[in-house]
Amino acid sequence: GQQLNQSPQSMFIQEGEDVSMNCTSSSIFNTWLWYKQDPGEGPVLLIALYKAGELTSNGRLTAQFGITRKDSFLNISASIPSDVGIYFCAGPNNYGQNFVFGPGTRLSVLP
Amino acid sequence: DTEVTQTPKHLVMGMTNKKSLKCEQHMGHRAMYWYKQKAKKPPELMFVYSYEKLSINESVPSRFSPECPNSSLLNLHLHALQPEDSALYLCASSLAPTSPNMGYEQYFGPGTRLTVT
């Protein structure tokens, strides 16, 4: 089945720094979704992307739908302590119902 | 309002117990989902209900039994679980499972932390 890969697996950054992470697939995705999960909580939807090349922002977050439709990028500008968490990319498989999650990127922000 | 609620927040049960997890949404969504998440892993899809009908069962053992009484409610009945079933159980909902664009946006509840002893 379709699988998603995320890099980096984890990252430690200083508060105020910008962050960039990406998600790749061996097959085409028509939708990319980015979620953030805090420990013990459910994932929270950050950004949804529906068109190849689309660039969408949500506050300090910006995500892009790759032109090849096999990747997506998430950038966080001027990181703050509350950005700490696990960031997952996700999307529907070919049939639209089965949701696939990437393994996640764990972000730590050092004061 | 993008709220999905789940009860209970925490549940400890023995292997011979029967318990139920509950999920509720009032966003008019017609697709609801159960996921299982182990520590440091992404959520794994268990079941999908589409218009109150079970549309996907990802080869989940029969000791997990889902139920969708109406379009707002989703239950997961648990019976004779094993310690390896301990995990965070997440409920999610979306407008519809196959509608283009916004139909794919899934909104998650806070989860039920299940411990099987």
A85 CB near a chain B CB, below 8 Å?
Answer: no
Report whether B47 contacts B60 (CB < 8 A): yes
What confidence tier does A29 reach under pLDDT thresholds 50, 70, 90?
confident
Residues of A in contact with B55 (CB under 8 A): 97
B106 touches chain A (CB under 8 A): yes
Neighbour tally for A93: CB within 10 Å: 16
pLDDT digits (tens, 9 = 90+) for A54-78: 999 999 999 999 999 999 999 999 9
pLDDT digits (tens, 9 = 90+) for A10-22: 999 999 999 999 9
Where does the pLDDT of residue A92 fall: very low under 50, low under 70, confident under 90, or very high at 90 and above? Answer: confident
Peptide bond into B8 cis (omega under 30): yes
**What residues does A90 pair with on adjacent strands?**
A33, A101
Query: Is A42 within 8 Å of chain B by CB?
Result: yes
Buried b (16+ CB within 10 A) or exposed e, B62-100: eebebebeebbebbbebeebeeebbbbbbbbbbbebeee
**CB-based burial of residue A88 (10 Å sphere; 0-12 exposed, 13-18 middle, 19+ buried)?**
buried
What average pLDDT does range B41-65 have in this prediction?
Answer: 92
